[in-house]
Structure 1
Amino acid sequence: MSGEKPGLFAREATGLVREISFTVGIIIIMSHVIGLGWQKRVFQFTGPKPMPTDIMPLGLPAMFWAFLAVGVVVLVTGYAVGYVTAAMPRSGGGYVTISRVIHPFVGYMAGWLMFLAEAFSYGLIGVAVFEAVMIFFNIALAPTTVAFGSLELFLGGLAIVWIFAIIGLLGTKLYGRLMEVLFYIPAAITIIFFAMWIAGVMNPSALAMGIEDVMGAPPSTIMELAIQTGMTDPKYVTGFFDAFSFALAGAFWAYMGWYATTFVAGEVKEANKNLPKIVVTAGFAIMIVYLLASSLSALAAMGV
């Protein structure tokens, strides 16, 4: 038996058990990334920059092209980060790689910035969960309304953060199994959304009826209100590049967290082989989801 000491990045150096499989690694990233990016940020980063449909490239909105451009950047960056992390598969995310490739101080600052970004994101997501619950009940129980105030949303978000923090303390194996279960529920819902958008593209009248049932007014009334409030005023209408540039900020936000599995690199099975594949595969899957969501929803809405 060899008496040599393990290398700096050997498994024995961390004491962590490598229990995260290829599939769970992808699920961690996808569950970490997909959420508000294509549900809420899309509207926040397209509404202020209305663009005529006749100047949309291939008839697709600026957000679609922003998702595509940022997605390519994420894939290229993810490929590089995946291989660098695979060479030193220790838990810690960007801190580990940046501190060794660039400088420890830069890694220290990057680590804290990542920590703050993740902390803010968890808080926003926790609140958004209860916003989504409120919206769902308002649609399902219409005309009865359910209203959560700022305090209720804060407490609900805090509860969500604490629940998942406690689950995380139970260990990677249990957390990974839970993630697998929780992942397939929203994945199924997302597929249903895609099916509804495709149905809306193929049958605009059905979509118009659905909008009227939910909103209490036909799409034509909503369009008239938009025109009356100046949405089609030439001074508010923008060209493609203005709308695209504005949408890029929302797209970058939507992809935040594509490196999530690198934070637990020390617990990934065969990390030197799997990490690059995990990061690139997850990034590609996320890009496909975003491109389909932004294109199908836009085509369905523009057909009404």
Structure 2
Amino acid sequence: MEGPAGEKVPSDNQVKTFERTATGLVREISAFRTLVLDLMFTSPVFMFVFAILGIGIFVGADMVVSTLLALLIGFTTAGMYALLSIAYPRSGGDYIFISRILSPPLGFMVNFVFTIVNISVIGTEAVWVSTMALGPMFSGLGAIMNSSSLASYASVFSQPVYIFIIGAVVMLVFTSVMFFGTGPTFKIKSVLFFVAVFSVIVYIAAIGLTSTSAMISNFNHLSSTSYQQYSGIVTSNGLPEKFEVVPTL
């Protein structure tokens, strides 16, 4: 049926679904770039970073099993978002989901919290560029190549003033990229996506193809402390020799 101005008006027996029909303010991206955005947001590289941090936080945990358990639980959340995206096509987002299912004030509060968290995470990740990327990289290269100059760079990246400067530059660079529009931004994201995927594959291959004896030999060669001495130190400080169930869960 039609309204006074000739526009189509849904009849009472038609199913009404909240759906954005306007297209003037909507920017479309390809399915691949959408996948890249989602994967980069979940940060697959950080899965390995948090696994290493988890060894120290949850002493005795088998981080491989813990990661797999968390992945299974995460599938339920991903499935929920998939169903909500189907129910609210072209109108996705936590505000839409929560405001339509619960209430608009709750939707606003949740999105406000997400905004604050994302702003905080940006600062944390900018710091990690120095503390978890550049510093360890130069430290490892200095040990492998027996270069004192490269090792000295690692100590530079651990100083607060340089951490702040590098973090500020990283934030400014990635923020300025977005001013060039959606196209250039997603092109850069796609390139960084392949760099991240390649890094993860190389990391997994290096760990998987290195035997325990080779790891111990390399550790003894590159470290000032032998593997046996280091193992005795961490064991005497409370690290269990075998994985435990409770920390793993």
Q: TM-score range by the shorter chain?
A: 0.7 to 0.9
C-alpha RMSD of the superposition: 2.7
Answer whether contact 2:96 2:107 (CA < 8 A) is retained. Answer: yes
Question: What TM-score does the superposition give when structure 1 sets the normalisation length?
Answer: 0.66
Unaligned 5+ segments in structure 2 are 1-5, 10-16
CA distance in structure 2 between the aligned counterparts of 1:33 and 1:70, rounded to whole angstroms: 13
State the shift of 1:139 in Å: 1.4
Counterpart pick for 2:222 among 209, 214, 231: 214
Change (3 A) 1:48 1:79: closer
User: 2:57, 2:137 → 1: CA distance?
Assistant: 25
Q: Deviations over 1:149-200 (max 9, x none)?
A: 1222122112212211111222222211111111111211211111111112
Kindly indicate whether residue 186 of structure 2 is the aligned counterpart of residue 154 of structure 1: no
Identify if the C-alpha distance between structure 1 residues 153 and 39 changes in structure 2 by more than 3 Å, giving closer, same or farther. Answer: farther
Contact 1:126 1:158 in 2 (8 A): yes
Alignment partners' CA distance in 2, 1:29 and 1:230: 39
The 5 A counterparts of 1:215-254 are 215-232=223-240, 239-241=244-246, 243-245=247-249
2:12: which partner in 1?
A: none
Does residue 135 (structure 1) correspond to residue 114 (structure 2)? The answer is no
Q: How do 1:36-75 residues align onto structure 2 when only pairs under 5 Å count?
A: 37-51=46-60, 61-75=61-75
2:207 paired residue number: 197
When structure 1 is superposed on structure 2, of 131-140 and 204-213 the one drifting more is 204-213
SS in 1 for 2:220: helix
Q: State the distance in 1 between where 2:236 and 2:20 align.
A: 65
How big is the shift at 1:26?
A: 1.4
**Displacement of 1:37 after TM fit?**
3.3
Alpha-carbon distance in 2 for matches of 1:190, 1:41: 14
Q: TM-score, normalised by structure 2?
A: 0.79
CA distance, structure 2, for counterparts of residue 170 and residue 90 of structure 1: 25
Q: In 1, distance between residues paired with 2:34 and 2:231?
A: 44
For residue 56 of structure 2, give the secondary structure of its aligned residue in structure 1: coil
Q: Which residue of 1 aligns with 2:14?
A: none
Match of 2:185 among 170, 175, 185: 175
Report the Cα distance in structure 2 between the residues aligned to 1:215 and 1:141, rounded to whole angstroms: 12
Contact 1:88-1:97 at 8 Å conserved across structures: no
8 Å CA contact 1:36–1:125 kept in 2: the answer is no
* Partners of 2:62 and 2:244 within 8 A in 1: no
Is residue 45–residue 200 contact of structure 2 (8 Å, CA) maintained in 1?
Answer: no
Give the greater-gyration-radius structure (CA): 2
The offset of 1:35, in angstroms, is 5.3
Judging changes above 3 Å, is the alpha-carbon distance between structure 1 residues 81 and 244 closer, same or farther for their aligned structure 2 residues?
A: same
2:32 aligned with 1:23: yes
**Cα-to-partner distance string for 1:127-148 (whole Å, 9 max, x where unaligned):** 1112211110111123433222
